[in-house]
Amino acid sequence: MIEIPQAVKQAALELQQSQTDPLAAYIYDLPALDSHLQRLQADLPNQVELFYAVKANPNPVILQRVAAQVDGLEIASGGELELITPLLADKPFIFGGPGKLDSDITAALEQGVEALHVESAGELERLIAQAEARQQVAPVLLRINLSLPESMRTRLTMAGCATAFGIDPQALPAVIERAQASRWIELQGFHVHALSHQLDAERHLQLLGHILQSCQQLAQQHGLALKTLNLGGGIGINYRQPEQQYDWSRFAEGLHELVAQPGLQGVRLRFEMGRYLTAFCGYYLMEVLDLKQNHGQQFAICRGGTHQFRLPPAQGHSHPFVVLTGTGERRRGPELQQARISVAGQLCTPKDILASDSLVERLAVGDLLLFPLAGAYAWNISHQNFLCHPAPVFHYLEAHG
Ligand SMILES: Cc1ncc(COP(=O)(O)O)c(C=O)c1O
């Protein structure tokens, strides 16, 4: 299990004390977020920009904190654009994703979007029409559904196979020519977000090498002076073996070698990472309400559930957690010892399971379960209104006292 900072544990127990009802909460460790981002930025080559994919966690406090450290923001909807608007005086933004509305594109052009990631021939036509109507040249990267060798895939691959994302390699030459022919499009380069959940730095570097080479070839074939290549996001979090995370140092070292290759000088490379930026700073916290056995299995029923933390069922894993012995009056026996438990929430569905067959040394009603790696695709991807439970408490740790 990964080390949980003492300050987080202490905040969890203090939060419990401050609540009259049993606790469900998110704790965000902001100093840890800061230092994680500082490290990533320090290790990246100068030519590489780090953008934040807002969809990973659009919480305004997190967003503001992340925005202060990254080079820009990636959005995928008009709603995300509204959310980041207060930050746009300081940071550029890019707009990607399928199914963009005309009204979203208009808003993005009005706000001075740094690049629009065009997903299809039809979307390009709509953009040309709007740009012409506005008499405003639109900066564009074409999103390619690039062919990928089997060895480069992960369990969530969006390129090299039939998905709703990006432009098919067969259709691409005509789309490039159309973009080049329009005076309302400034074709800056290409965008490839090929996959998520990449846990292997070596394979990731191979993937990037493949993308860089393919995009350079395409540019050459079409006489395009490449200005920008967006290499997507996709670095994963190891939820199953939390102590074995992505080897960032090796990745950064390999990236320096990759970008030094001939032909890339003067090309701006950009990442739009989500999960890897914010996952580590977030913790989800549940208080044990009840302990019971059913058909030979031990369950801990806890405050909250997958309507607040949908990440484990969404990713199909049993989420790791630590037990914090409750200090309040609600703690009561009998206490389980050396037991294997499933962690269930408060919903009326057997799918409301956050962890299963997890070993606990001691556990009683009134104890807290603290789930790390909960800062991305957690609260914001959850079906929050199911059963009309209130939202969890949100707590922001400002300093490690
Ligand atoms: C186009 C695009 N860019 C970036 C991301 C962020 O991916 P991740 O959180 O895996 O880094 C996503 C996630 O789905 C995406 O669809």
In three-state form (DSSP H/G/I as H, E/B as E, the rest C), the secondary structure along 234-294 is CECCCCCCCCCCCCHHHHHHHHHHHHCCCCCCCCEEEEEECHHHHHHHEEEEEEEEEEEEE
Alpha-carbon span 328 to 267, nearest angstrom: 58
Q: Which of 55, 270, 276 to mutate to test the pocket of ligand 1 (most atoms within 8 A of CB)?
A: 55
pLDDT band at 251 (very low <50, low <70, confident <90, very high): very high
Determine the distance separating the centroid of ligand 1 and the alpha carbon of 196, expressed in angstroms.
7
Determine the distance separating the centroid of ligand 1 and the alpha carbon of 166, expressed in angstroms.
13
pLDDT recorded at residue 68: 97
Which residues touch 26 (CB under 8 Å, ≥6 apart)?
A: 282, 283, 284, 285, 374, 378, 379, 392, 393, 394, 395
Catalytic residue ranges: 348
Is the pLDDT confidence value at 130 over 90?
A: yes
Cβ of residue 326 lying under 6 Å from some atom of ligand 1: no
Which residues touch 260 (CB under 8 Å, ≥6 apart)?
A: none
Q: For atom 5 of ligand 1, which residue has the closest CA?
A: 233
Q: Which residue has the tokens 């202490």?
A: 10
Is the pLDDT confidence value at 84 over 90?
A: yes
Q: What is the largest CA-CA distance in the chain?
A: 75
pLDDT recorded at residue 59: 98
Is the pLDDT confidence value at 319 over 80?
A: yes
CB 89 within 8 A of CB 56: no
Cβ of residue 53 lying under 6 Å from some atom of ligand 1: yes
pLDDT band at 399 (very low <50, low <70, confident <90, very high): confident
Cβ of residue 275 lying under 6 Å from some atom of ligand 1: yes
Q: Which CATH code for domain 6-28+280-397?
A: 2.40.37.10
169 burial class (0-12, 13-18, 19+ CB within 10 angstroms)?
middle
Closest CA to 366 of 331, 324, 321: 331
Is the pLDDT confidence value at 401 over 80?
A: no
pLDDT recorded at residue 157: 80
Q: For atom 2 of ligand 1, which residue has the closest CA?
A: 193
pLDDT recorded at residue 152: 74
Determine the distance separating the centroid of ligand 1 and the alpha carbon of 76, expressed in angstroms.
10
Domain ranges of the chain: 6-28+280-397, 92-273
Cβ of residue 272 lying under 6 Å from some atom of ligand 1: yes
CB 397 within 8 A of CB 11: yes
Q: For atom 15 of ligand 1, which residue has the closest CA?
A: 193
In the chain, pLDDT over 70 holds for what percent of residues? 100
pLDDT recorded at residue 154: 75
Strand partners, 282: 28
pLDDT recorded at residue 266: 92
**Mutual orientation of helices 60-67 and 30-43 as an angle, nearest 10°?**
30
SS (H, E, C) the chain: CCCCCHHHHHHHHHHHHHCCCCCEEEEEEHHHHHHHHHHHHHHCCCCEEEEEEHHHCCCHHHHHHHHCCCCEEEECCHHHHHHHHHHCCCCCEEECCCCCCHHHHHHHHHCCCCEEEECCHHHHHHHHHHHHHHCCCEEEEEEECCCCCHHHCCCEECCCCCCCCCECCCCHHHHHHHHHHCCCEEEEEEECCCEECECCHHHHHHHHHHHHHHHHHHHHHCCCCCCEEECCCCECCCCCCCCCCCCHHHHHHHHHHHHCCCCCCCCEEEEEECHHHHHHHEEEEEEEEEEEEECCEEEEEECCCCCCCCHHHHHCCCCCCEEECCCCCCCEEEEEEEEEEEEECCCCCCCCEEEEEEEEEEEEECCEEEECCCCCCCHHHCCCCHHHCCCCEEEEECCCC
The length of the chain is 401
Q: For atom 4 of ligand 1, which residue has the closest CA?
A: 233
Alpha-carbon span 105 to 109, nearest angstrom: 6
The class level of CATH for 92-273 reads alpha beta
Question: Which atom of ligand 1 lies at the shortest distance from residue 156's CA?
Answer: 10
* pLDDT (tens digit per residue) in 8-65: 999 999 999 999 999 999 999 999 999 999 999 999 999 999 999 999 999 999 999 9
Q: Which residue has the tokens 């065009």?
A: 118
Cβ of residue 232 lying under 6 Å from some atom of ligand 1: yes
Cβ of residue 193 lying under 6 Å from some atom of ligand 1: yes
CB 40 within 8 A of CB 274: no
Strand partners, 273: 52
CB 309 within 8 A of CB 344: no
Which residues touch 334 (CB under 8 Å, ≥6 apart)?
A: 291, 364
Cβ of residue 166 lying under 6 Å from some atom of ligand 1: no
The reply to whether 6-28+280-397 and 92-273 are identical in fold is no
Question: Which atom of ligand 1 lies at the shortest distance from residue 191's CA?
Answer: 1
pLDDT recorded at residue 22: 97
Looking at residues 79-84, what average pLDDT do you find? 98
Q: For atom 9 of ligand 1, which residue has the closest CA?
A: 274
User: Rounded mean pLDDT of the chain?
Assistant: 96
**Pairing mode, strands 185-191 and 115-118:** unpaired
